[in-house]
């Protein structure tokens, strides 16, 4: 399983009826990182009227956690539209903060929804991203003669060897992408090693 994640900090700007909407996105994967990013943004734009935000952790199709905040805008006009954009863009481990500088013209509820979702969409459309491959933990117990083969298999499939312990056998903890699990299970049966997949 894989999904896209931001590769760094990114910012865009929209102006709607003299109000400035600054969309800022960054990779975050837990609440502590999200809180720190929000605090940094507030410190960078201390005179802004609103710092509205939403985040999505993990796979965008099955997120581990989502949250949002309107930060003083009418309920449902800022955080929810930002989150809606996040949920439809196939980018995970991401937070978007939209900073608003009020321009003196009220936009109304519908106008705010369009402005905040537009800012978030513009930010995500130009956001630098990279593919994030989710790795599954596999515990392998094998004879010494198969260790190098298993190391090579892991490397060839884009995985990694997390740890190795030796006694009468070799015990490897591997982290592998989903695409490598079926071939490894086939090898376990034909070559003859013990495999447990977490």
Q: What is the pTM of this model?
A: 0.75
DSSP annotation of 28 reads -
| Strands across the sheet containing 170-177 | 160-166, 170-177, 135-142, 194-197
**Chosen domain end from 131, 146, 177:** 131
Are residue 190 and residue 92 in the same domain, yes or no? no
pLDDT, position 1: 62
Provide the residue-wise pLDDT of the chain in tens; the chain has 198 residues: 678 999 989 999 999 999 999 999 999 999 999 999 999 999 999 999 999 999 999 989 889 999 999 999 999 999 999 999 999 988 999 999 999 999 888 899 999 999 999 999 999 999 999 988 878 898 999 889 889 999 999 999 888 999 999 999 999 999 988 888 888 888 887 877 888 887
Structural domain of 63 = 2-131
CA–CA separation, 30 and 28 (whole Å): 6
CATH number for the domain that contains residue 156: 3.30.70.240
Are residue 114 and residue 142 in the same domain, yes or no? no
**Chosen domain end from 131, 154, 184:** 131
- CA nearest 57: which of 90, 93, 8, 110? 93
CATH number for the domain that contains residue 33: 3.30.230.30
């Amino acid at each position: 399983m894989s999904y896209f994640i931001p590769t760094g900090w990114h910012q865009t700007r929209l102006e709607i009826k003299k109000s400035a909407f600054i969309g800022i996105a960054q990779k975050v994967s837990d609440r502590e990182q999200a809180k720190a990013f929000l605090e940094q943004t507030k410190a960078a734009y201390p005179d802004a009227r609103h710092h509205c935000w939403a985040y999505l952790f993990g796979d965008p199709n099955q997120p581990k956690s989502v949250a949002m905040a309107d930060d003083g805008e009418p309920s449902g006009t800022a955080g929810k539209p930002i989150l809606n954009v996040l949920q439809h863009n196939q980018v995970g481990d991401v937070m978007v903060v939209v900073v608003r500088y009020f321009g003196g013209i009220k936009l109304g509820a519908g106008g705010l929804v369009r402005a905040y979702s537009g800012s978030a969409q513009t930010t995500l459309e130009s956001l630098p991203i990279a593919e994030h491959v989710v790795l599954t933990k596999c515990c392998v117990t094998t004879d010494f003669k198969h260790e190098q083969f298993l190391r090579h298999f892991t490397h060839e499939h884009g995985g990694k060897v997390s740890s190795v312990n030796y006694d009468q056998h070799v015990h490897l903890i591997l982290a592998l992408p989903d695409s490598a699990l079926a071939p490894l299970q086939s090898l376990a049966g034909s070559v003859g090693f013990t495999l447990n997949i977490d």
